[in-house]
Chains A and B, each alone.
Chain A
Amino acid sequence: MELVLVNLIDGLVTGLLLFMLSAGLTLIFSMMGVLNFAHASFYMLGAYFAYQISLYMGFWVGLLVAPIIVGIAGAGVERYGLRRVHQYGHVPELIFTFGLALLIEELVQFIWGKNQMPFDIPEVLNFTAFAIAGNSIPAYKIFMIFISVAIFIGLLFVLTKTRVGMIIQAALSYPRTVEALGHNVPLIFMGVFGVGTALAGVAGAIAGPVLGTFPGMAFVLGSIVFVTIVIGGLGSLWGALVASLLIGWITTFAKSYNIRMEDILNGIGISTPEYLDDNIFRDLWTITSPQIADILPYILMVLILIFRPYGLLGKRDA
């Protein structure tokens, strides 16, 4: 029972981290109708900037400043890159963000090299917050949960309760009308893109010390972020939250418990073949859940695309 609680907390941390990335991506998608392939690269930039700043001014300054720089860079990309490409349609935009992702990865390797960076958890947070049945929960995880939840609440508040949020929501659905009413829609787009990438930057700054700061970090997380927003429903903030948490918990539980394919198949009434070693389905029979844990979200995505193409909480028709 206690282990379930521990896994719930671990899964929550993974899920919330994923949410910070997918929130920005899904906002940008609902605004521009374009998937930003470079989104995870901004996450990587956040981690590297935070690391570089933390060398001189400490972790906290890094955590504060790095997302701002990433946000400004993101806004710049929208203003001087995407906006120009926009007139040619969606495909060039997609290709532009794809190229940008490659460019950022090469740039990071050029500046920081290809090695792992020694980006560490700050001393103040390097202790065990509490332990459940011998499983220690590091304070840094609790800190990650608080930061993510605070960002979610802040985002929700801005989007639904403030004037700015209302204009953004209106601009998302009816850009022409909002423009006709005298609002600067391109500026709003730039702002949303900047905030979205800044969120990715925050995620990078707080995830860098625990998940590793290396040039492959964008690649490792990049695909799963897309999976998240597809499962949650493209353009839905709540959907992104639900999908992130779902993925966090599914992968955590799959890794923690040794569920064997053999048991599942036996459970549904298929008996184990007598000579398993020669059987062509041997690999299928011997799969265990920890072996495939990080691939499960992709299976879930395929199922969602088949049975509910617009995602769990998505509104548009696919």
Chain B
Amino acid sequence: MRKTKQLGVTTALALIIGSTTAFAENIKIAFIDPLSGPFAATGTNGLHQFEFAAETLVNAKGGVLDGQMFEVIGFDNKISPKESLIQLQVAIDQGVRYIVQGNSSGVANALTEAVDKHNKRNPDSRVLFLNYAAVDPALTNEKCNFWHFRFDANADIKMDALTDVIAANEGIKNVYVIGQDYSFGKAVAEAAEANLAAKRPDIQIVGNELHPIGKVKDFTPYARKIVGAETDAVITGNWGADMLGLGKSIIENGFTGPIYTYYAAGSGITAAFGEGGKGSIRLISEGQINPPPTEEAAAYYTAYKAKYPDGNVDQSRISNTIGMLAQAIQAAGTSTDVVAVASALEGMEYDSMWGTKVYMRPQDHQAIQNMHIAVHTNEGVTFDYDNSGFGVVAESTIEMAGMDSPTTCKMERP
């Protein structure tokens, strides 16, 4: 009896040790984003896209270096900066060298500071922060550091691209700006005003307004004012339920012009807009989904749908993040010396399967890539969102948007 027990314990121990040595080969990537609470849908969807990208783009092709695999580990930060710092510490203790995060610029600001401090104090366990969606311009300007890389275009670049398209449309004479009453909503409004004044001084901003975030039940009165102002276009940075409520209300009350937005696709919003939003909702984003830019992208999307039938590939930058990290590790010849990996990422030009070159600008670690204005429709949609038959189709493209946008970043290199 005692013998069997001993044997059992030894085997178990051997198994544990065996498995840890097997895992030690893996390159761990910590995904620190909300996996519970009101933003859990966005976070979980992002995690799935990361896992899938690591699996398809790296592991299925035999990994990087001498067969090292990518392993994405989810850490739930409940979208709180405080919780994120705890999770960051947990991740570092587990031997993680690469942190990815995207939801909320507040969290990103906290993380980038913490990573900077940690790397200064612990040169042996330095980590890189790969930001895939937090768009606060400060992250690549006054708050920039060597360890932070942003793979999405920042809010200023997006507004610059958006207003390029508006400026090119001679039919637009009046514009109405509306947003949520907090830092991001205000930043969008300011950027819109400044850009339009510079590019098309003849365009009149007939309304510029903020509403409480997440508190509005009925958007009808706002919509009435927008319709009453006889505007040709609406610009909003709204997201989530506020985006859907505002958009639906504007359309229902008879507005037929374009509504230019940042976040109005996927996570059920595309399905909920349905027929009503057709031809009205226009999004600025990187990565073209429809028509699929390359065969590789089409195959990638099809495979993703096979694995997650209810999911959407709505953040093509996630696959760019994984692809560029793999390429950088390959070029640096190491996965543990993150300074070498970061240096390889700097100035990298990556051919994305989403039909664009992604250039990691060395001055501020801001990715420069093609931006697209996509329209919400059900015509010409190869890959729909939310299984609704509706999706976003690229309408116009801004090549390498923000290539020479200014930055105040003074990069300190180790």
Contacts and interface: CB of A to CB of B under 8 A. Distances in A.
A291 B228 contact: no
Given A211-B245, A255-B221, A255-B222, A115 B268 contact: yes
Interface in A104-144: 109, 113-120, 128, 134-136, 138
Grouping DSSP codes into helix (H, G, I), strand (E, B) and loop, the A interface class, with mixed when no group exceeds half, is helix
B241 A116 contact: yes
Contacts of A135: 224, 227-228, 253-254
Interface in A272-318: 288, 290-295
A220 B214 contact: yes
Interface in A134-183: 134-136, 138
A101 interface: no
A221 B217 contact: yes
B296 interface: no
A291 B245 contact: no
B386 interface: yes
Contact of A118 (B209, B216, B221, B274): B274
Contact of B212 (A7, A116, A294): A294
Contacts of B267: 114-116
Interface residues of B, number: 36
Contact of B244 (A6, A113, A212, A293): A212
Contacts, number: 118
User: Which of A114, A134, A135, A220 has the most B CB atoms < 10 Å from its CB?
Assistant: A114
B381 interface: no
A10 B269 contact: no
Contacts of A210: 218, 248
Contact of B41 (A113, A118, A134, A253): A113
Interface string B40-77: 11000000000000000000000000000000000000
B119 interface: no
Contacts of B244: 116, 212
A224 interface: yes
B372 to A, nearest CB: 23
B310 interface: yes
Classify chain A's interface size: 35 or more
Contacts of B225: 255-256, 290
Contact of B211 (A115, A134, A138, A293): A293
User: Which of A212, A220, A258 has the most B CB atoms < 10 Å from its CB?
Assistant: A212
A14 B245 CA distance: 14
A114 B224 contact: no
A123 to B, nearest CB: 11
A26 interface: no
Contacts of B5: none
A74 B215 CA distance: 27
A115 B210 contact: no
A216 interface: yes
Given A14-B217, A256-B221, A292-B212, A116 B252 contact: no
A118 B217 contact: no
Nearest to A11: B221
Contacts of A97: none
A214 interface: yes
Contacts of A14: 217-218, 220
Contact of B209 (A128, A138, A221, A290): A290
A252 interface: yes
A290 to B, nearest CB: 6
Interface string A188-223: 000000000000000000000011101110001100
A294 B268 contact: no
A225 B155 CA distance: 37
A212 B224 contact: no
Interface of B: 38, 40-41, 181, 209-212, 214-218, 220-222, 224-225, 227-228, 241, 244-245, 248, 252-254, 267-269, 271-272, 274, 310, 386, 388
Given A136-B254, A138-B252, A224-B217, 7 more contacts: A10-B221, A116-B241, A117-B271, A118-B268, A120-B274, A212-B245, A216-B38
Interface of A: 3, 6-7, 10, 13-14, 109, 113-120, 128, 134-136, 138, 210-212, 214-216, 220-221, 224, 251-253, 255-256, 258, 288, 290-295
17 contacts: A3-B224, A114-B38, A116-B271, A118-B386, A135-B227, A135-B228, A135-B253, A212-B245, A220-B241, A252-B220, A256-B225, A258-B209, A290-B209, A290-B211, A291-B211, A292-B212, A294-B216
